[in-house]
Amino acid sequence: MRALDHPAVAAVKEDGHIERHLEAVAQMGERVAGTRSAAIRDGVGALPIFGPILPRAAMISPSGGGAVALDLLAADFRVLQADPAVRKILLAVDSPGGVTTDISQFARLVAQSTKPVVAHVSGMGCSAAYWIISQVSEISIDATAMVGSIGVMMGGSVQENPDQAGRRDVAIVSKSAPNKRPDLTTEDGRAVIQAMIDSIEDVFIGAVARGRGVTEAVVRSDFGQGGTLAGASAVKARMADRVEADGLDGAIRRLATRNPSTRRTSAENTLKLAHARAGL
């Protein structure tokens, strides 16, 4: 529960992504046999990533809450890879992000796909969701869609007053584990958390840089610095590749009629990195 900032998770339920999900499903085609949410249309296998991202289905409440589980997502992705009727894979994304657990592994699965993988962002492709889509060969976005929020956040609570029963919780940790429950009211306690989330951010930025074919310095300076960019601004910053005038439907139609590369080749990435270092 500490990992899932409950007020934030509750808030994203009100942002309209569930309604946008229903509209998107209607555009993606017929459900692919053996999957929970993937669909196929004109040889394009579409996999929706809608709502907060959690590692496992067991963490999602029985009512669903509009969340997506990475274990189920990975299973559907592998079905699309194995289905001979699926020529290309499209990640249809509208997600504010989620927890860090298993994000790196799923992003690696996308990066290593033997079939071409692209992404289209209709609402938000932020934080953990951007980590995933940074690994595809092309990102298209709606004119008002937002991408970014590259960074890691962890929150905690500090007891200021006794609770209503007149009691105050006190945590005592064993002598060799002073960092097990750091005191967030002190600089030393905050430094423990800061060091941990900074190390995770380094992994995040490294993955985005490799996926987008730029240097880590470019990601740190030009990719929003934890904020988001929308539409044409995101494309200009190289966080996305194109604004899709016809939305998800247009992305599927365009993908069905052309032959994108399966992945940026290592040579292409090396050339992009060289150009970035040279300021080209």
CA distance 221 to 223: 6
Decide if 226 contacts 204 (C-beta within 8 A).
no
- pLDDT for the residue numbered 24: 62
- pLDDT for the residue numbered 276: 44
- pLDDT for the residue numbered 105: 94
- pLDDT for the residue numbered 210: 95
* Rounded mean pLDDT for each run of 10 residues along the chain, 280 residues in total: 50 56 66 89 92 77 66 94 94 91 93 94 93 96 94 80 78 88 88 93 95 95 94 95 92 82 45 44
Decide if 184 contacts 158 (C-beta within 8 A).
yes
With a CB cutoff of 8 Å and minimum separation 6, the contacts of 49 are 68, 73, 91, 92, 93, 94, 95, 129, 132
For residue 266 the two structure tokens come to 């290592």
101-125 residues labelled b (16+ CB within 10 A) or e (exposed): ebbbebbebbbebebbbbbbbbbbb
